[in-house]
């Protein structure tokens, strides 16, 4: 009896072990399937060098090969699965398989951009409208409505001459012509301008920005892009600030106060499927602004960004002239992304097969050796201002938009900022340059004598050119733009010791910033001993100062000469104060 019991026990143990091993094996296979590289089926007729046999010269071979590869790729998608589509946004399906589907979707977006937007040749037999309905199900293939401050309305891209004067005829899109929609958009872009994503909650900041642009003598037209969710009253108040007669005085020759602004409202509501409006919230709205303005060369600005130079001069920077896209670096902080997420992003880059078959440029050390891809630093770019020639970078912007909307890609990074450069690199376009200096902190300089450290604390993120000229800041020009005084006073004992009431803290928060310099720290690399003794370096978040955790302190070690301390001259302070006063001026 005892022998029989032991035998039965051993059989049960083996059964459990078999079930456990089976589950492990199944999990491994599922993981591999979800994360393995997605192979590309090469079109027939292509040699291993990517050229069609039978063409006369290298150029003809390349064009024929690309056309054949493009036709065959999208035809094969339909043959494999007639209902193929872009990976859904907000999809309820298994998260394990979503990475694999996103890799496939990104490849299709990349090849669409390369084949049908960058390439100007029409390819016989390609059903462009069908492909676009599958790859861009969120968009209706309609253009927005453009309304100028003077009541002029255009249902197509307004054409502007070199003096930014509107021409009688616009640039429309034809659905009758069998031409890819986004290629028509690209070919219709014209001139330069400032683009701002506008929502009802951002109206006050936009008006403050307009006051600043008037001071700086901006003559670029401004397009405020919305989804039909901004009231007529709000738009009238914006026009009033942008166009009213001067009520302020300035004595500085450095600025050209007071220049009325050429304000346009761009209603993109009809560009988006009604069921998909819900997808575009907060950061996502910037992609609507990026795609549905009329400018070929765009300065995309956050509503709380504040320029200290005439924005048009950004087009004259060496970086923009060289690459057609100028991006700005974020704070150098030591926050990393997980290795698994980093590996996933790498898989989104062009594959060797695509580069051979379609002639897509491979990723170089520019992408592979940047701080994000190589070292896993989470914050590379700050997107409060983006300067870009859209006609050369549209495919990347389309990929960026999708990456913002997929949870599997957007959950890793903060907001929209990293997708600007990632979208370009993933599209196979590395024609972009970053500003030389990483972001710094703007404020009142202080010194810790016993630790030989210069520092300043503020909510503003400041950007300087290679000559240390202040270009722009992000975060507005109050001490704190967030109405968090009640919350902060309850949470932070240090604030209760300094301020007697929430009203007193509010007065401090909404007061204009005071500025005499800036700190541009290096990345914080403190030793264990330095951390023990409290040695500060680089950027440090300072929640005890309030503003719902938006204060950052920046430190420069004077002994090791790490980082830069910028002390403004009296004339520089005067010019900066002019901008601060203009931004903080009373609004009606």
8 within a domain of the structure (yes/no)? yes
- How many residues would you count in the chain? 588
Residues 11 and 45 in one domain: no
Shared domain for 489 and 550, answered yes or no, is yes
Identify the pLDDT of residue 68.
86
- Shared-domain flag, residues 50 and 199: no
164 and 279 share a domain? yes
Residues 156, 173 contacting (CB under 8 angstroms): yes
Last residue of a domain, one of 316, 342, 371: 316
For Cα atoms 328, 365, 386, give the angle at the middle one, nearest 5 degrees. Answer: 20
Q: Are residues 103 and 229 in the same domain?
A: no
The answer to whether residue 325 is domain-embedded is no
Report the predicted TM-score, pTM, of the whole model to 2 decimal places. Answer: 0.89
Q: What is the pLDDT of residue 58?
A: 53
Residues 170, 215 within the same domain: yes
Helix-then-strand count for the chain, H and E: 20, 21
Full DSSP string of 409-426: HHSSSSTTHHHHHHHHHH
Low-confidence ranges of the chain (pLDDT < 70): 1-65, 82, 90-97, 170-172, 174-176, 246-257, 525-536, 588
41 shares a domain with 29? no
* Three-state secondary-structure class, residue 342: helix
Are 482 and 458 found together in one domain? yes
224 near 238, Cβ under 8 Å? yes
Structural domain including 23 reads: 1-35
pLDDT given at position 53: 37
428 closest CA partner among 457, 460, 386, 399: 399
Residues 551 and 521 in one domain: yes
Q: What is the pLDDT of residue 48?
A: 41
In a domain? residue 191:
yes
pLDDT digits (tens, 9 = 90+) for 180-215: 999 999 999 999 999 999 999 999 999 999 999 999
The total of structural domains in the chain comes to 4
Count of CB atoms within 10 A of residue 303's CB? 20
Q: What is the pLDDT of residue 46?
A: 44
Strands 325-329 and 433-434: parallel
- Tell me: do 376 and 511 sit in the same domain: no
160/309 same-domain check: yes
Q: Among 316, 345, 373, give the residue marking a domain's end.
A: 316
Residue 459: inside a domain, yes or no? yes
Claim to verify: residue 41 and residue 189 sit in the same structural domain: no
Q: How far apart are the C-alpha atoms of 231 and 311, rounded to whole Å?
A: 28
Identify the pLDDT of residue 157: 92
Distance CA(493)–CA(491), nearest Å, equals 7
CB atoms within 10 A of CB 80: 9
The pLDDT value recorded for residue 250 is 52
Asked whether residue 247 is domain-assigned, the answer is yes
Reduce the DSSP state of residue 566 to 3 states and report it: strand
- Residue 504 covered by a domain: yes
User: Between the CA of residue 471 and those of 80, 242, 417, 454, 462, what are the distances in Å?
Assistant: 52, 22, 18, 22, 8
Angle between helices 417-427 and 390-405 (to 10 degrees): 120
The answer to the question of residue 321 being in a domain is no
Rounded to whole angstroms, the Cα distance separating 431 from 488 reads 44
Residue 2 lies in a domain: yes
Alpha helices in 36-82 (DSSP H): 58-80
């Amino acid at each position: 009896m005892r022998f029989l019991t032991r035998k039965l026990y051993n059989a049960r143990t083996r059964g459990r072990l078999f079930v456990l091993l089976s589950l492990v094996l199944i999990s491994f296979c599922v993981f591999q399937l979800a994360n393995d590289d997605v192979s590309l089926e090469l079109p027939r007729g292509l040699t291993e060098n990517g050229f069609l046999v039978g063409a006369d010269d290298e150029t003809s071979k390349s064009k024929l090969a690309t056309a054949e590869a493009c036709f065959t790729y999208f035809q094969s998608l339909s043959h494999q699965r007639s209902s193929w589509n872009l990976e859904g946004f907000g999809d309820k399906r298994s998260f394990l398989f979503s990475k694999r589907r996103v890799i496939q979707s990104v490849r299709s977006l990349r090849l669409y951009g390369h084949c049908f937007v960058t390439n100007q040749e029409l390819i016989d037999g390609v059903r462009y409208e069908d492909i676009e309905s599958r790859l861009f199900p969120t968009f209706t293939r309609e253009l927005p409505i453009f309304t100028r401050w003077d009541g002029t309305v255009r249902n197509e891209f307004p054409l502007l001459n070199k003096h930014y004067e509107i021409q009688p005829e616009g640039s429309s899109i034809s659905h009758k012509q069998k031409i890819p929609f986004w290629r028509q958009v690209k070919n219709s872009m014209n001139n330069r301008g400032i683009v701002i994503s506008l929502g009802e909650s951002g109206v006050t900041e936009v008006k403050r920005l307009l006051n600043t642009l008037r001071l700086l003598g901006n003559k670029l037209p401004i397009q405020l892009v919305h989804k039909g969710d901004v009231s007529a009253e709000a738009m009238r108040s914006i026009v009033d600030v942008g166009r009213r007669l001067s009520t302020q005085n300035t004595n500085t020759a450095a600025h050209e106060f007071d220049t009325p602004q050429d304000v346009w409202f761009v209603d993109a509501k009809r560009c988006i499927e009604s069921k998909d409006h819900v997808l575009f919230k907060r950061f996502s709205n910037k992609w609507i602004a990026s795609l549905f303005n009329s400018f070929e060369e765009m300065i995309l600005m956050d509503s709380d960004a504040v320029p200290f130079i005439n924005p048009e001069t950004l087009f004259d920077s060496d970086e923009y002239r060289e690459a057609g896209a100028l991006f700005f670096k974020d704070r150098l902080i030591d926050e990393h992304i997980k290795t698994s997420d980093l590996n996933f992003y790498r898989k989104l880059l062009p594959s060797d097969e695509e580069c051979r078959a379609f002639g897509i440029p491979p990723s170089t050390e520019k992408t592979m050796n940047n701080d994000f891809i190589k070292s896993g630093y989470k914050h590379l770019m700050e997107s409060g201002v983006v300067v870009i020639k859209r006609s050369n970078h549209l495919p990347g912007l389309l990929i960026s938009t999708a990456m913002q909307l997929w949870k599997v890609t957007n959950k890793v990074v903060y907001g929209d900022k990293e997708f600007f450069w990632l979208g370009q690199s993933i599209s196979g376009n590395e024609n972009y340059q970053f500003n030389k200096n990483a972001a710094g902190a703007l404020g009142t300089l202080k010194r810790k004598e016993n630790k030989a450290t210069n520092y300043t604390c503020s909510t503003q993120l400041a950007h300087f050119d290679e000559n240390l000229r202040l270009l722009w800041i992000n975060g507005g020009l109050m001490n704190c733009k967030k109405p968090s005084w009640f919350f902060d006073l309850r949470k932070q004992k240090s604030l209760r010791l300094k301020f007697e009431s929430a009203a007193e803290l509010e007065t401090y928060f909404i007061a204009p910033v005071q500025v005499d310099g800036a700190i541009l720290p290096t990345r914080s690399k403190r030793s264990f001993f330095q951390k023990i003794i409290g040695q500060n370096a680089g950027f440090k978040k300072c929640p005890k100062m309030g503003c719902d955790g938006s204060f950052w302190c920046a430190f420069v070690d004077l002994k090791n000469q790490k980082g830069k301390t910028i002390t403004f001259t009296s004339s520089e302070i005067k010019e900066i104060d002019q901008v601060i006063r203009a931004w903080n001026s009373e609004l009606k």
